[in-house]
Structures are given as C-alpha cells and as structure tokens.
Amino acid sequence: MIDDYNKAMELLHKIEAQLPIPARLTEAYAQAVQDSKLKALLGQELQIQRVLYMGDAGGIACDVKPAHWQGSKEVLLVSLTQLRVSLHHPLAQEILAYQLERIRRIKHRLD
C-alpha cells in the first residue's frame, strides 16, 4: 500500500475544513504538462476548492482554480503531491509530511 488510508482520510477531512486553500503547482508538474494553458498557471496562486480520495493509486486529489477561472465550469484535478501550500498555512506541515511519505513509498515501489 502507498497510503495509510486512515491517515489520508484524516488529512483530507482537515483540508476540507480549511477550504479554500491557496497553493501553487510544482515545477515538476508544470514541466510534465504539455498543455500551454496549464503551463501558464505555473507560479500563479491557485485555490484548492475541493478534495477527494482517488484510492491508494491516486491518493488525495485537489480541484484547483486560479482566480480568473472563478465561475468557470473548467476543472483542474491535481494530486496533492503536485501542489505546494504556503509554509505559513496551519496544515502545511501535515500536508508536506503526507507528500513526502507518498513520494517515498511510490519510489520504493518503482525500485
């Protein structure tokens, strides 16, 4: 298993209670995406609007939108591991711990 399901759900509920949460896409995500519209979002502050659990394979996913998408029906669903939350946010340390552990476990499975 990649995630500890109970811990992931506990974090998901904490995130839900704090929505919306400002975040930015990681450089790795921006480099992996070929869509120029998404690349333009690099460096912009996005708002995590909703979170959902995509199972062990997908982990916690976030519906994020930049300010100019408000009111739009467009959705950008991004893994929490591909977002950076300000270190000043109350959940920053818990989110970072989840991200690092998930990445470590994924790498371990690939080795």
Cα 43 to Cα 2, 40, 99, distances in angstroms: 29, 8, 19
Per-residue pLDDT of the chain (111 residues; tens, 9 = 90+): 899 999 999 999 999 999 999 999 998 887 788 777 787 888 899 999 999 999 999 999 999 998 888 788 888 999 999 999 999 999 999 999 999 999 999 998 887
3 state SS of 47: strand
In 3D, which of 50, 45, 47 has the Cα closest to residue 21?
47
3 state SS of 10: helix
What is the biggest distance separating any 2 CA atoms in the chain, rounded to whole angstroms?
43
> pLDDT at position 64, please?
95
Q: Tell me the domains of the chain and their CATH numbers.
A: 5-110 (2.30.30.140)
Decide: pTM greater than 0.75: yes
